[in-house]
Amino acid sequence: MSEYKGEIRKMMIILSKASIENVYAAFVLANGARMEGIEAEMFFTFFGLEALHNKKLDHLHVATVGNPAMHMPTMIGGLPGMEALATSMMKKEMEKLDMPEVREFLDILKASGVKLWACKLAMEMFHYTKEDMYPDVDGVLTVGDFYKEAEGLGTHMLFI
């Protein structure tokens, strides 16, 4: 703590889910770090990889089932079209706040110097290759590699 008086120097953000509310939370935190002069790197693992998958990242949805804060009965949340409806409503609200779409947000993060890493294990599990991913992905890493990236004082790690 004493070296930088507990100041945050780098955020390592692990995204393990691809429902749009989680993806945006991770992106806003990564962008917010850069805007404050803090380094940021993101590790996309398990379903979080969908937010980095070139053919899927434009079609992410809000989770309407198993999300008590939606205030929607699970059975209704499960009806066909509910996810799409909730997603389009949420996107409209976010546009008002000048929130970019997922792909544009990735472009902003890259331009801001955020490193984007895909998890090797999850890539193998889903049979994805680097070519399936967002073109500007920085690489495919093991957990060990990711910890190596995190080295240094003032690094904080966050799992979403």
**Which residues make up the interface to other proteins (CB under 8 A)?**
28, 31-32, 34-37, 97-100, 104, 108, 111-113
Q: What type of residue sits at position 138? A: D
Cα-based angle 72, 73, 77 (whole degrees, multiple of 5): 70
**Closer CB to other proteins, 106 or 119, in the complex:** 106
DSSP assignment string, 100-158: PPHHHHHHHHHHTT-EEEEEHHHHHHTT--GGGB-TT--EEE-HHHHHHHT-STTEEEE
Query: Minimum CB separation from other proteins for residue 10, in Å?
Result: 13
32 versus 66: smaller Cβ distance to other proteins: 32
Smallest distance, other proteins to C-beta of residue 145, A: 25
Query: Smallest distance, Å, CB 98 to other proteins?
Result: 5
Closest separation between CB of residue 66 and other proteins, Å? 26
**Complex with other proteins: residue 44 or 105, whichever CB lies closer:** 105
**156 and 79 in contact (C-beta within 8 Å)?**
no
2, 40, 60 from 46: Cα distances, Å: 36, 20, 15
Name the nearest CA neighbour of 26 among 55, 3, 60.
Answer: 60
Q: Closest CB to other proteins among 30 and 60?
A: 30
- Tell me the closest approach of the beta carbon of residue 20 to other proteins, in angstroms: 15
C-beta closer to other proteins: residue 77 or 100: 100
Q: What is the DSSP letter of 5?
A: T
- Residue 133 phi/psi, 5° resolution? -90, 165
